[in-house]
A and B are shown apart, each in its own frame.
Chain A
């Protein structure tokens, strides 16, 4: 899909600004006028005029220490929209994939179980029999993820860290013909040949169901600003995405966002004033200068690691008020410590130290939103499981969370859920 999109870009001779990192939106009177972006290759910061802007930056997987996402999925698009005053919707709904390779979290596709793979604990037991007697390994992702985590938490994990995905009974031929990619991944990233040995797997963050609040036309509250794909929250997934539906989010809503933005851009004039542009640019220049002039002693890589670990330790598959409060305090502490960052290297060309510091600042804001949203939702729904509130509570929580940025902590509001056809029901497997 990515390749096809790239081919179409070439065919239509669309200008691409490669390796530019957008740091903020330029907004005037509730209307988007452009973006400020940093060239990774030259280090220069520039303001781009744009009648319409579509955010398509993907999810925020790497707020967690365990994620199947690409390493660049640090939620930048969500963070810049949040800073521009747009709500982040339903961020507590985080999908965890049951089978990420241990320890690197490279994704082992559902197809491995689809073809008949078994999940086995340290005692050699096909434990899904206890959790979903009919569906077994083919139960929905969230059910399988929680089952694996429970096995690990209750001491039946292998080396207290993972379980086994056993494909051996499928035979060499089937593995080679139906799952060659999985075999390559297991060999390259874990040194395990699934023909001879079971694959070590663990649950890991996989998809950000929440995101930039937008409607079914991908419009946000800022005119001319659209969001599509994983960074957006049209809310097609509700509290729990079904496998394959990320394609829906990219293909269907990518098209809608493109069409909407095209029509909007045609019918609007760019009248953003120059002064506002210069100010937006200056503000980002100052922000980066501030990084270069940091005089503190906090190491960003340590803060990043602490953030990612607390998200896995306390905001993972099973959540409780106590753990979420602790996580919230920890993220707040990390944000304070971020203000005492050591000086970031002021080199211009290909400065990973700077890019990663900007990403970390964004991820700290997003982590705070995820934790605050999870703490406020005192029920269990879809991917969000509260051990202290094990049931779904439609009378209080059949609603979307909206998190707005304030000078202090996120302000949580709620909006109505539009139910068109299917009423929420309890799921049984």
Chain B
């Protein structure tokens, strides 16, 4: 931990209602031990510019609200320590999503993809009298996929989502995997058919940007490849 010092924060500014192009403002931030980028943004908001716009909620890396580009990498502002970054710290909104203002992007394109894969448990009736039982080893197969916090970092850094508007992107496919690999869900085949098309799974060119971007250290590319294997089997009638 560095002791008290100063660092420059260069923040991309843009208002979708009034500006034709973004610009950068630089602020000097007084640092203290343990300070995160989110703390620094609050300092700017309180001391320098009351109009700075950004999202926040849990400040402990579980809600996914504060995903942004920090020194060129998609990160969560709340769990990125200032002391690990070189100055000036350059902060901007997630790319390839419409910017509402400053660091706040319109996440609707991202959430629409999640919706498109019908991300809810489906099981044939009759339901068990109590809960659906799942063994720890079966749960282990989806542990990592369940860790997704829907921050949008992978979606906005995937070159295939940039070029193919129909492609669900890494987070939505990861969520599809979460249900397909869940022993309690019975819609596996329909789900695989739904995502097993040209604009679906096969659009993934294993660029691995998503794995690089994920603040929860999930590797969506790996799971998408698992889905490709499953979809191939389904299309060939292999169980």
Name A residues whose Cβ lies closer than 8 Å to a Cβ of B.
3, 7-8, 10-11, 41, 70-72, 103-104, 106-107, 184-185, 188-191, 301, 345, 347, 349-353
Contacts and interface: CB of A to CB of B under 8 A. Distances in A.
A10 B56 contact: no
A101 B136 CA distance: 30
Contact of B101 (A70, A72, A350, A353): A350
Size range of the chain B interface in the assembly:
35 or more
B120 interface: yes
A107 B60 contact: yes
21 contacts: A7-B120, A10-B118, A11-B118, A71-B56, A71-B57, A72-B56, A72-B57, A103-B34, A104-B34, A104-B36, A189-B60, A189-B81, A191-B1, A345-B51, A349-B16, A350-B100, A350-B102, A352-B50, A352-B52, A352-B53, A352-B54
Nearest to B58: A70
Given A188-B61, A350-B101, A345 B120 contact: no
Contacts of A103: 33-34
A104 B53 contact: no
B119 A104 contact: no
A10 B81 contact: no
A185 B54 CA distance: 23
Contacts of A184: 61
Contacts of A8: 120
Nearest to B107: A18
B interface, by DSSP: helix, strand, loop or mixed? loop
Contacts of B16: 349
A184 B53 CA distance: 28
Contacts of A3: 146, 150
A184 B58 CA distance: 16
- A7, A301, A352 interface centre (most CB from chain B within 10 Å): A352
B61 A10 contact: no
Interface in B29-88: 33-34, 36, 45-46, 50-54, 56-61, 63, 79, 81, 83
B15 A10 contact: no
A352 B52 CA distance: 8
Given A8-B120, A10-B115, A353-B50, A191 B57 contact: no
A256 to B, nearest CB: 20
Nearest to B149: A3
A191 B1 CA distance: 7
B55 to A, nearest CB: 9
B60 A349 contact: no
Interface string B79-123: 101010000000000000000111010000000001100111100
Contacts of B150: 3
Contacts of A189: 34, 36, 60, 79, 81
A115 B72 CA distance: 39
B84 to A, nearest CB: 9
Task: Report which residue of A106, A107, A188, A301 has the largest number of chain B beta carbons within 10 angstroms of its beta carbon.
Answer: A188
B17 interface: yes
Interface in B153-192: none
A350 B104 contact: yes
Given A103-B34, A188-B79, A350-B104, A10 B120 contact: yes
Contacts of B56: 71-72
Contacts of A191: 1, 34, 81, 83
Nearest to B103: A350
A146 B26 CA distance: 44
